[in-house]
Structure 1
Amino acid sequence: MPPSAPYADSRAVLEAQSTMEVDMVVLGVSVQTRSDGPAISFEWGTENTGRVLRGLSRVSLIRHSPHRRCEPNCYCGLPDGTEEAAGWLRRSETLDAAALLEDLALLNARLALFDWQRAMVDTNFTLIVQTDEMRQMEVAGTAPLAWPRFAAEGAGRLPLSAVGSESYLRLPIRNNAHVPVLLQAIIGVEPYALPDLPDRAGGAPHCAAERCDTTADVFRLTGWRVLSGSAEPWNATDNVPHTDNLTTLVLPLLLLAPHTELEIGVKFTPKYSGSFASHIYLRNNLTILESVQLTGEGAYPNFELSGRRPGSNSPLVIEVTKCTWDTETTMSRRLMVRNTGRVEVQLSNWSVAGAGCEARGFSLRPCGTKYLKPNKTQALHVHFTPDFTLARVSAPLTVRSERGATEFVLLATVPAKVLAGCAAEAPRPPYESALRFYGICIAFVALMIVLSTASLDAENLMKRA
């Protein structure tokens, strides 16, 4: 039978393989074991049980209920009305490091009781099946005891995340008990840090194969979501939403119905490149305390723009080789943006000379935000419209990633021969004739004013003479 624990029964199907032509009716099934053996019971009444037909038949459901043998001193569960249960609830109201240390001491005592009860119980048993055609058919079985867990091993690993960004984990939790259970999730950082729990309660060492930071405050709980069954705050006055809109170290005490499944939201925000680890402590009145290891890794996003790393002084050159007067289809160059890091990179706020997507004759297409997975590339087209007044035009190209703003250099060059020829052939602006006329008029008026002033001055001098 599957492993079971007090208040967390296990079930198995008793099947019979018959080669007889006649059908048989099961008259009874009994258990042959020591007095302190497993507490086995049978469930009948389901369809096609209690009969043995030719071939494979379903005889009965077997249920192992360890609590029937050990109550009221089982290694699992805090029965209502006991001093241990009352103390556990009081610690829930004033939760601090001292309360968690008391929980840890109670956990160690229950684990010692588990070892003792497991050693004392004969988990092997023999079923005696009697039918109307055959008597005393023996079936050997075993019903092992186990320490129940709410979370699967390794369920707390978060994906590789970019430094400064946020990643999320939905940690699956299941109440395997057939009774309601109180459960509270706590992130194991100060002031809720504890020594490592026993391995059976999830306290295996952090990051066995690598060094990791166990002190950084990078994990947070964001809420919970029920998948099946029901879970509600134990204190009805705790008006705490279920959805992932919290950022906290401690969730409220929840009442989980039997066999309820839910997810606990965890947010991971790495502060620098490296590995991080912590625990989620699951306080509960079934196994007292369980640890779920949280592990995550942060990495800096990195990218290149046509082989140039951010901050490179090597310019991205566009060479003008011919005269062109089309302001929309002028000289262009395709730049390749490549993610060279281990995490997705987000590139936004593209800007030329701090003036948006167009400035100093340069324009970017497309100019929106780019999302690149590791080792993926996207094209960025840079267009340049020359006015043939300068041989070299440069402009800074800035872009923002998760690591902040970074800068590249755009440079457009026009060879001297092309510049001279294109400047002579460049179409004149439509307002040039009018501007020349008004300029001549202004110059003529200024000349007349100068001549008039000189004439008046000369006349005054002659009169004085």
Structure 2
Amino acid sequence: PVVLYGRGARINIEIDNKTCGGNSKPLLFELEQHLSDCANPQRQLHKKTTTPLTVRRFAVHNNGEVGFNVVNISISGSPCENLVFRVLNCERFRLEPNETTYLYISYTPDFLFSVNEASLQIFMHMNNTPWSFILAAVVPKHLLSMCHSALPRPPFEALMNQTCVLALMFCLICMISCAYLEGDRVVLFAYKQQFLQKNKKGGVFNKNNELLKSNTKVLIDDFGIEVNDLYKREFKKISSDANIFQRVFWNTLNFILWIFSYVWPFLRRKKINKIKN
């Protein structure tokens, strides 16, 4: 008989002298000394387009008895990176016993939380169970608001703000113009009703009256005034002694009201027809 003797070989990995497991200390990023640039006026005015970035080097040591191949590195289940952590040299490598290599991991803070944690997962060729280490980054609480306000803004933000302001100004002009035209219509309608009542009492208003013979004027049901009157009216009289700025202002206002006088009656007529139906 041949007697064979054997023993199991131990495999183990350490990163910065920390072993894997939930009870081990995290691989820590301390950022306070790297965030002094947050108070820079250039950053506060968003003239710098770069985001604060911290890179740390971690020593990966094989303190086991056999070599192994690292085939994949993930952070919280995502290959090589997640939202804030990223492995810069995320390639396969082999470690022999007592051999050391280095992992370069970057952290890009979003300044939403004082502490950010993630799981660094290292997969070896012999099984599908990863060796997990905890990554942690600590931002002092008193720097959160200042550094968050210094983050670069998206390039489309200025255009979006200007577009929203112009849209709001346009809506304001529309509301003011429609309110003015509606008030103007009510006043003219009151004058017209008063005039018609006087003519009826005096027997002047009949079928031969010019108000009824005109084919160029279009009367809108329940509108109160004629559309042609709106087209020809000057909404605001400009004083002869007005300066150039006043003239420009009132001419602009008259032009806006003149444009809306073409659109507003038909919108109102559609509304009336909808109510009648």
| Normalised TM-score (structure 2) | 0.50
Quick check: which one's helix share is greater?
Answer: 2
Q: Which is richer in strand?
A: 1
